[in-house]
Amino acid sequence: MSSPVNMNDRKSKSPLGDLGVSVAISSLNLKYQQKSVLKDLNWNINRSENWVLGGTSGSGKTSLAKIIAGLQNAIGEVKINFDTGSHLPAEVLFVESWYQFKNLEGVANFYYQQRYTSQQAKDTLTVHAELVGFGKENGLHFDHVEPILEALNFATFASSQLIELSSGEHKKLQLVKALWLKPQFLIIDQPYTGLDASSRKNLNILLDEISADGVQLILICNDSELPSSINHFAEIKNGQLVEVDSIDTVSATEKHSREIPYFLKESPVYSSQNIIKMVDVNISYGEKQVLKNINWEVKAGEKWLLQGHNGSGKSTLLSLVNGDHPQSYANELYLFGNRRGSGESIWDIKQHIGLISPEFHWYFDATSTVWQSIASGFYDTVGLFQQLPYTKSAQVDELIAYFGLTGSKNELLNTMPLGKQRLVLLARTIIKNPELLILDEPCQGLDIQQTQHFNQLVDELCSNGMTLIYVGHFESQLPTCLEKRILLENGEVKIVESLNTKTRHNEVRSNLLHGTI
Amino acid sequence: MSNYFNTLPLREKLNQLGVCDFMDSSEFLDGVSALKGKKLVIVGCGAQGLNQGLNLRDSGLDVSYTLRKEAIEGKRDSWKNATENNFKVGTYEELIPTADVVINLTPDKQHTAVVNAIMPLMKDGATLLYSHGFNIVEEGMQIRKDLTVIMVAPKCPGSEVRAEYVRGFGVPTLIAVHPENDPQGKGLAQAKAYAVGTGGHRAGVLKSSFVAEVKSDLMGEQTILCGLLQTGSILSFDKMVEKGIDAGYASKLVQYGVEVITEALKQGGITAMMDRLSNIAKIKAFEISEELKDIMRPLFQKHQDDIMSGEFSRIMMEDWANGDKNLLAWRAETGETAFEKTPAGDAKIGEQEYFDNYLLMVAFVRAGVELAFETMVQAGIKPESAYYESLHETPLIANTIARKKLFEMNRVISDTAEYGCYLFDQACKPLLSDFMKKVDTDLVGKNFNEGKDGGVDNRKLIDVNEAIRSHEVEQIGATLRKAMTAMKAIKTA
């Protein structure tokens, strides 16, 4: 007999304890809008096991994790058998791939780019206060969190307001809390998202340490550099759990053979050959200077790679370009040939630009349908507030077909897997054939196959003479069209260079080895 | 200075009270051009000041801030808000003489002092913009005849004004031109351009008058919005504790219940709110709300009468002159109530449970919204205005109560609203004491449907539904909600 999974049932002790089975899942079924996601899924996890759950996007990995953690209901049985002899908290902790934080009043009503506006009425806690509260709630020693903060390169954020953190930094804070708490079960969805190379390495060391202390791990990802304590691999195929030898990280990419819509084959109409010009641009919040004497020029049609560590100032730099930063009015900044602050509105600026970033995605209206989300790109609005004329409406349909999304054009964004949501937002940025395309870590949270597919589309779409600024981590795969690179370090321009497309990967890699980045 | 409204002949009183037109989007095709290239100087940089200024600047307008010398020298929060976002900041003497439009976004209480300080500095033919008409209408401030006086009032907290703008939408906004001060006839064009600059034109703009705005705003905030929500919350909490309901549960039900209940109100008016109840509970809520309306009607009428005659403003300004003696005493009293001092418990309360276990609040909200609306319309205020100042704003205040409870809710609303809220609360509680004696936990604290047969008489249910649905606030509400969300509706189609 199947019955809905109930959190209370799962917390009770089961007679399985003697067998060394800590999680027993049987006949689990989950349907989403008439589609079966999980079909009679069975999974036994033994005491000494640490798993990686991989496989294709949309196969149900995140749903399964949420069901185990009691955050989502499904039909079937999930028994969690906590070790009563353990000193670790009898808890399944799920660290989400995306985390929505709350303000002092316990609500999460923040808005896009709010963090750049300076407001004296502080609405959120500092990172330090947040951690103190978390430690108190769970009876943890503050001494124990400090090494974790160091290892993940997060100690400098102690006095930052939560609102000031980027999405990647929020993810880190969640990891810090999880590593500190050491629950008996720890499930992390995309643990490496938004982390730079050294943080990834240190995270693996920390995960091995807590595993040695008795924490059982389930990591949801398709990465190859994993903690050495991981000893089992599985994928979800056709709704069932299949144990595999290892996660296949280099599956062949689906060949994309559809023709680019005609309206995107033509070059964008440039209002000026000078896309961006920054002259000694400085941005600071109180004492903290985040951009120092930035000089940078981008000409029409150039394809730039923007790089730098977490916190180096990349997002702030791009917010200046996109008209989102209040301090852009006090700097010598030219966009599309016009001096910023010479009477233009931010909507005048945005109409030249297509932008996608983790933060934008975060604040995007996820209750829009695919079609509405893409159509809203014509007006640069979050949500669609007007009717489209026929020609524009036809262009939306064409682009949806090109992205292979016709079947899901009426689905709500928040019902789709992350990878598909990103494709929808890419389509949104491109719909008006903008002069400048800004892709700020567009593949954050995507697996390797999805990243390849995404970058292949970027290469195709940009071949019409569009200007591109692409932010990607060092080791991530990049579109091949990139030809110039700017590197930020602590808010300053460290390197501006041309990329020879043939040797680019080697160069970047050798720079990495020699510690220049 | 004497009350402006009271100086008007009856004909003109009615004329100015009865203004409220929902403006067509074609009225805003000129965008911000009426203010393009003009110098906009905002007085004050709190939540409304900063967020409106950010929007106006992002719409391509020239915005700077003027603050009192002490605020600049002391580097107060308002100074930091403005300078850290790279706005130009200067004293009155430095900036006002250059301003084409001076925007007064200081608290009501300071208006007379501020306007007296800036008016002599304003250049000939400039414009003075208010976001509330109290100073003009109730205090009777006389503005130099060469100056244009307009009002633009976004009907949302400052942070919302900004949040909606950056996503490409806006918040509903009310605009008006003072008929005594429009020498060049440019007032309306500038007010419209300002509404475009803050994004309000995308969400709907109502053309009102200073008089209609003040008289309806005061009435709404002191009766249904703040007053009755406060009275109802305190009485409900005390009743539950008296009847042995766990205090933590009671505190949580009251703090969050009003938000959950009025969310239904926001989406679909009184009808939607009442429809969340079972048939038997709906009939009960209807009956007790009718009873509540009868009990409270004279109090609502007294408030409206005192607002119309200027009596309310007179006694409030007396309290201002008296160092806010009454206000501070009542504020302290609110901070000491058992509800305020009992933290919300850990009990999980489901969304539907807030309706089923808090039927009394549903009845309070229906009674309060309908009474406020009826009383305003009877007094000559247009139904559109009355809807705005009653039903439309109730969920916004409820939201503040959910976040901050009553003491802080009173701190974040305007001083005028806070004063009126206490005035109402003081009079309303004794008025309801006999009624409250009859109330038991089936109305507040426990599920009304529990242990009851759910059957109802068809005729009776039909009559109750008819009475709810045919009320004028429901008719006008349906029209206005549709107009306000006409563009948004595409999003959820």
Q: What is the pLDDT of residues B117-134, one digit of tens each?
A: 999 999 999 999 999 999
Nearest CA in chain B to A123: B159
Interatomic CA distance for residues B5 and B486, integer angstroms: 35
Interatomic CA distance for residues A442 and A451, integer angstroms: 9
SS3 B203: coil
Residues of B in contact with A379 (CB under 8 A): 168
Residue A40 near residue A240 (C-beta atoms within 8 A):
yes
A128-148: string of b/e by CB count within 10 Å (b at 16+)? eebbeebbeeeebeeeebeeb
Contact B168 A380 (CB under 8 A): yes
Interatomic CA distance for residues A380 and A82, integer angstroms: 50
Residue A474 near residue A197 (C-beta atoms within 8 A):
yes
Contact A382 B167 (CB under 8 A): yes
How many CB atoms within 10 Å of residue B460? 12
B147/B260 same-domain check: no
Q: What is the pLDDT of residue A251?
A: 47
SS3 A508: helix
Q: How many domains does chain B have?
A: 2
Tell whether domain A7-244 is in CATH 3.40.50.300: yes
Residues of A in contact with B403 (CB under 8 A): 105-107
SS3 A274: strand
pLDDT tens digits for chain A (517 residues)? 334 333 333 333 444 444 588 899 999 998 876 778 899 999 999 988 999 998 777 788 888 999 999 888 889 999 999 988 888 999 999 988 766 555 544 444 566 667 677 666 666 678 888 899 889 888 899 899 999 998 888 888 888 877 777 767 788 888 999 999 999 999 998 888 777 777 888 999 999 999 999 999 999 987 778 999 999 999 888 889 988 887 765 444 455 567 888 899 889 999 899 999 999 999 988 778 899 999 999 999 999 999 988 778 898 999 999 998 999 999 999 999 999 999 999 999 999 999 998 888 888 887 789 999 999 999 998 888 888 899 999 999 999 998 888 989 999 888 888 778 888 999 999 999 999 999 998 887 676 777 888 888 899 889 999 999 999 875 557 899 999 999 999 999 999 999 865 444 444 544 444 444 4
Q: What is the pLDDT of residue B25?
A: 86
Q: What is the pLDDT of residue B484?
A: 65
Q: How many CA atoms, within 13 angstroms, populate the side-chain half-sphere of residue B181?
A: 27
B172/B240 same-domain check: no
B219/B111 same-domain check: no
Query: B80 lies in a domain?
Result: yes
B203/B221 same-domain check: no
User: CATH class for domain A262-269+301-325+341-513?
Assistant: alpha beta
φ and ψ at residue B140, rounded to 5 degrees: 70, 30
B313/B194 same-domain check: no
Q: What is the pLDDT of residue A105?
A: 45
Burial environment of residue B434 by CB neighbours within 10 A (0 to 12, 13 to 18, 19 or more): exposed
Q: Which residue has the higher pLDDT, A134 or B467?
A: B467
Chain segment B283-316, per-residue pLDDT in tens: 999 999 999 999 999 999 999 999 999 999 999 9
Interatomic CA distance for residues A514 and A493, integer angstroms: 18
Is B132 catalytic? The answer is yes
Query: B114 lies in a domain?
Result: yes
Q: What is the pLDDT of residue A7?
A: 36
> What is the average per-residue pLDDT within B61-81?
94
Q: What is the pTM of this model?
A: 0.81
B66/B93 same-domain check: yes
Closest CA to B147 of B125, B131, B166, B132: B125
Closest CA to A458 of A483, A486, A426: A426
Residue B300 near residue B375 (C-beta atoms within 8 A):
yes
Contact A117 B162 (CB under 8 A): yes
Query: Alpha helices, DSSP H only, in B198-324?
Result: 210-220, 229-242, 247-275, 279-309, 311-321
Query: B8 lies in a domain?
Result: no
CA A299 to chain centre: 29
Residue B201 near residue B25 (C-beta atoms within 8 A):
yes
Query: B7 lies in a domain?
Result: no
Give the contacts of A371 (CB within 8 A, at least 6 positions apart): A396, A400, A409, A410
Q: What is the pLDDT of residue B246?
A: 96
Query: B16 lies in a domain?
Result: no
Query: B475 lies in a domain?
Result: yes
Q: What is the pLDDT of residue A248?
A: 62
Among A103, A114, A120, which would you mutate to test the B interface (most chain B Cβ atoms within 10 Å of its Cβ)?
Answer: A120
Give the contacts of A233 (CB within 8 A, at least 6 positions apart): A51, A52, A54, A243, A244, A245, A246, A247
Query: B13 lies in a domain?
Result: no
Q: What is the pLDDT of residue B243?
A: 96
Query: B87 lies in a domain?
Result: yes
B225/B353 same-domain check: yes
Intervals of CATH 3.40.50.300 along chain A? 7-244, 262-269+301-325+341-513
Q: Which amino acid is at A97?
A: S
Domain range enclosing B34: 21-207
- From B132, B201, B303, B471, the catalytic residue: B132
B321/B464 same-domain check: yes
Residue with tokens 């509970």: B281
DSSP calls for B5-54? HHHS-HHHHHHHHT--EEPPGGGGTTTTGGGTTPEEEEE--SHHHHHHHH
CA A96 to chain centre: 11
Which domain CATH number covers B34? 3.40.50.720
Res B229 pLDDT > 60: yes
Chain segment B179-213, per-residue pLDDT in tens: 999 999 999 999 999 999 999 998 889 999 999 99
Chain segment B28-64, per-residue pLDDT in tens: 999 999 999 999 999 999 888 999 999 999 999 999 9
SS3 A148: helix
Q: What is the pLDDT of residue A70?
A: 87
Give the contacts of B401 (CB within 8 A, at least 6 positions apart): B229, B233, B255, B258, B259, B409
Put simply, whether A85 touches B (Cβ < 8 Å) is no
How high is the ipTM of this complex?
0.79
How many CB atoms within 10 Å of residue B456? 15
B281/B420 same-domain check: yes
Which domain CATH number covers B290? 1.10.1040.10
User: Please, what sign has the CA dihedral across residues B306, B308, B311, B314?
Assistant: positive
B353/B446 same-domain check: yes
B173/B225 same-domain check: no
B203/B216 same-domain check: no
Put simply, whether A337 touches B (Cβ < 8 Å) is no
φ and ψ at residue A499, rounded to 5 degrees: -105, 120
Contact A112 B490 (CB under 8 A): no
- Among B164, B184, B207, the domain-final residue is B207
Distance from CA of B294 to the nearest CA of A (A): 37
Supply the mean pLDDT for chain B: 93
Q: What is the pLDDT of residue A366?
A: 78
Res B242 pLDDT > 70: yes
